[in-house]
Amino acid sequence: MSIIFAMSNMPVETSWKLSGVVTSEVIQSVDNSNEKLTDTEGNEITNKIMGFTKDQINVFIRKIAHMGEFFILFLLWYVVLFKVKNKNIILYSAALAIFYAMTDEFHQLFVQGRTANIVDVGVDSMGVFCGVVAILIMKKIIEVMGKKQAV
């Protein structure tokens, strides 16, 4: 949670620069042609991959990172709460992770250049949902393997 807090505490310009570096690396690794678009004066405008601009790709990468952070946060809550042996452990873990997503957006109201965005809570919740699905799949696999060993 402290990593998420630290990332959310960055001013928007710093955050965009950081994700911009990642985006540039992704573009370079995916785009072999390195086709660059230029304006009438020959200045580079942006890279385009499959019709998407660098800024559009950057937004996509940022949203995937949000999902990944909250996927991991859900799994960590699940591991911590697993010792409780409660049948609602998945629900509690998901609720805690989503609650933190909401408080994270509230926190961003107080950070220079940032705003609270309900869409980001939704994106974070999708990461939590992916974690729930991953746990349910793992539980089913363990259940099926346990039945095979009993036979």
> Which residues are registered as beta bridge partners of 44?
38
At residue 151, the pLDDT reads 57
pTM: 0.78
- Say which residue the tokens 């393997």 belong to: 145
> CB within 8 A of 127, min separation 6: which ones?
66, 67, 68, 69, 70, 71, 73, 74
Give the mean pLDDT per block of 10 residues along the chain (151 residues): 81 79 78 60 61 82 92 96 86 96 93 89 97 95 83 57
Would you list the domain boundaries of the chain? 2-150
Q: How far is CA 70 from the centre of its chain?
A: 6
- Check: CB of residue 62 under 8 Å from CB of residue 43: no
Amino acid identity at 42 = G
State which amino acid sits at residue 60. F
Provide the token pair at 51. 């019709």
Q: Beta-carbon neighbour count of residue 151 at 10 Å?
A: 4
pLDDT at 39: 57
